[in-house]
């Protein structure tokens, strides 16, 4: 299964805006679609990115990934 840039963008947006609802609104997606996208990314990576009790609170793995993903996204912008 391949990671999609869109999944990385969704993860970054949720982390930046500290919530799925705000990120979904900014991305013009439903909250369910954004949540599914992040869940698929977590499945591919084999670890959770957000704490289950706090939807937008990063896990230590999420904290580790966020700057790397943001750097990658910055380098791929056209």
pLDDT one-digit tens code per residue, 14-67: 999 999 999 999 999 999 999 999 999 999 999 999 998 766 899 999 999 999
What 3 state SS string does 30-46 have?
CHHHHHHHHHHHHHHHC
Q: Are 59 and 47 in contact (CB under 8 A)?
A: yes
Q: What pLDDT, on the 0 to 100 scale, is given for residue 35?
A: 94
Q: What region, left, alpha or beta, does residue 56 occupy, with left being phi > 0 and alpha being psi -120 to 50 degrees?
A: alpha
pLDDT of residue 76 exceeding 70, the answer is yes
Write out the CATH class of domain 5-76: mainly alpha
Tell me the whole-structure pTM to 2 decimals: 0.92
Q: Is 60 helix (H, G, I), strand (E, B) or coil?
A: helix
């Amino acid at each position: 299964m391949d990671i999609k840039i869109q999944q990385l963008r969704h993860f970054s947006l949720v982390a930046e805006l500290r919530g799925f609802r705000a990120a979904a609104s900014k991305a013009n997606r439903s909250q369910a679609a954004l949540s599914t996208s992040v869940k698929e990314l977590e499945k591919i990576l084999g670890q959770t990115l957000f704490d289950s009790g706090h939807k937008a609170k990063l896990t230590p793995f999420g904290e580790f990934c966020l700057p790397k993903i943001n750097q990658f996204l910055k380098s791929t912008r056209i």
